[in-house]
Structure 1
Amino acid sequence: MLPAVIAVVVSYLLGSVSFSILFARWLRKIDIRQHGSGNAGATNTLRVLGKGPAIAVFLLDIAKGLVAVAVGQAIAGEQGSWLAVACGLASIAGHNWPLYFRFKGGKGIATTVGALIYLAPLPVVAAGVVAIVLIVITRYVSLGSMVFAALVPVILGLAGEIGPVFWGALVLALLAILRHRKNIVKLMNGTENKIGAKKKEDSHGI
């Protein structure tokens, strides 16, 4: 029991390492949450710092979720265990509400990708392809992010995978939509900013 609790706590602390905030401090001596969209994630890093830092942040945020799940699974010794799912959720909670940065972080999509790609690689690839195509067509990162998160549990359910991974993916989908609620309003109003468009003070992204 104690190793499991420690694993979840460590996963949260790992998730709390916000690379978007750190890169902005190192490269520009700024708080990225006060620039661009105000979101501490890869999309706003692209907007504020450029492609190189954004790619690095995206990959590192993915790694947080992947490592957290791997730790949980190693302790549980069971593929797709409840502990692995709990560790993935904890890392995403850390990203969204980081202990080190006054509990104001990002939206957790990249870290969700990392957690789910370890737990359910094929559904993640399928959902990821759909999301990427959607982003290319619409240029709305927020829309692609929400569709990705929502598709994973749908694919798992259709495949009959109703277990810890399905329920974890469902929680992550609901969390992703909740974190993007402002973006949903902007999408409905036609005011959501598109990737690559002229800067607007907006809140969409990963």
Structure 2
Amino acid sequence: MQIFFSAIIGYLLGSISFSYLIGRYKAGIDIRQHGSGNAGATNTLRVLGKKAAAIVFLADALKGVAAVFTSYLLTGSDTGMAVGGLAAIIGHNWPVFFNFRGGKGVATTIGVIVSVAFLPALFAGIVAIMLLLVTRIVSLASLVFLTFLPVTVLLSDLPAVYFWMSIVMAILSYWRHRTNIVRLLQGKENQIGR
């Protein structure tokens, strides 16, 4: 029962769309009707600038942290934290408060995985950041991060539930980035700063 409540709370936390709220507060717009149409930090960067994007990224990551911490308080178990964290990502991607039109879940995923598997997340993150600096393509760096993550988690001594959680994270990310993948294969994906 506690795991069920962890999932519900995680989902509701994830459903808070900070890019939408910041867009309304700062510019009176629905961020989903501008730029790429995505309710996330990268589109916020394109539409509203660096400061707003940084706030959105941090807030989205922190709701992942909050979901994991709440699940720990409720269940005290690795399975509970994994379920609560995944529910937060699902909430971000398909938020109940915003007609199920959310973002792609990368920042929230980072908040979740850093909370339960810091070193594996750090190693995968270093690879992704290096790639981002070279290519300036956020979607590619995000996909590489989520691809390497199960490997780094598997090579750690963490409970198996976190490996399976990282697999689900990767599947969710690939699904949400499917149009980006098409553009990457076509050589047409957008770069930041251009």
TM range (shorter): over 0.9
CA offset at residue 159 of structure 1? 3.1
* Residue-by-residue CA offset, 1:140-183 (whole Å, 9 max, x unaligned): 10000011111111112233546111100110011111111111
Q: Which amino acid aligns with 1:71?
A: T
- Residues 53-202 of structure 1 correspond to what in structure 2 (within 5 A)? 53-78=52-77, 81-159=78-156, 161=158, 163-197=160-194
Name the counterpart of 1:203: none
Q: TM-score, normalised by structure 2?
A: 0.97
Q: For 2:11 and 2:134, locate their aligned partners in 1 and report how far apart those are by CA, in whole Å.
A: 35
Contact 1:156 1:162 survives alignment (8 Å): no
Given the superposition, is the C-alpha separation of residues 130 and 94 from structure 1 closer, same or farther in structure 2, using an over 3 Å criterion? same
CA offset at residue 73 of structure 1? 1.7
Identity between Structure 1 and Structure 2 (%): 51
List structure 1 segments (4+ residues) > 2 angstroms apart after TM superposition. Answer: 158-162
Q: For 1:15 and 1:157, locate their aligned partners in 2 and report how far apart those are by CA, in whole Å.
A: 26
More helix by percentage: 2
Q: For 1:71 and 1:104, locate their aligned partners in 2 and report how far apart those are by CA, in whole Å.
A: 24
Name the counterpart of 2:42: 43
Name the counterpart of 2:24: 25
Query: Secondary structure, in 3 states, of the residue corresponding to 2:174?
Result: helix
Query: Secondary structure, in 3 states, of the residue corresponding to 2:36?
Result: coil
CA offset at residue 77 of structure 1? 1.8
Q: For 2:115 and 2:157, locate their aligned partners in 1 and report how far apart those are by CA, in whole Å.
A: 18
Q: For 1:161 and 1:71, locate their aligned partners in 2 and report how far apart those are by CA, in whole Å.
A: 20
Q: For 1:137 and 1:172, locate their aligned partners in 2 and report how far apart those are by CA, in whole Å.
A: 25
CA offset at residue 113 of structure 1? 0.2
CA offset at residue 7 of structure 1? 2.0
Q: Which amino acid aligns with 2:137?
A: Y
Q: Which amino acid aligns with 1:192?
A: E
Q: For 2:95 and 2:71, locate their aligned partners in 1 and report how far apart those are by CA, in whole Å.
A: 20
Q: For 2:157 and 2:121, locate their aligned partners in 1 and report how far apart those are by CA, in whole Å.
A: 16
Query: Secondary structure, in 3 states, of the residue corresponding to 1:191?
Result: coil
The gaps in structure 1 that reach 5 residues or longer are: 198-206
Q: For 1:140 and 1:162, locate their aligned partners in 2 and report how far apart those are by CA, in whole Å.
A: 32
Q: For 2:76 and 2:3, locate their aligned partners in 1 and report how far apart those are by CA, in whole Å.
A: 11
Q: For 1:97 and 1:162, locate their aligned partners in 2 and report how far apart those are by CA, in whole Å.
A: 28
Q: For 2:157 and 2:65, locate their aligned partners in 1 and report how far apart those are by CA, in whole Å.
A: 23
RMSD across aligned positions (CA): 1.1
* Residue-by-residue CA offset, 1:95-153 (whole Å, 9 max, x unaligned): 00001110000000000000000110001111111111101100110000011111111
Q: TM-score, normalised by structure 1?
A: 0.91
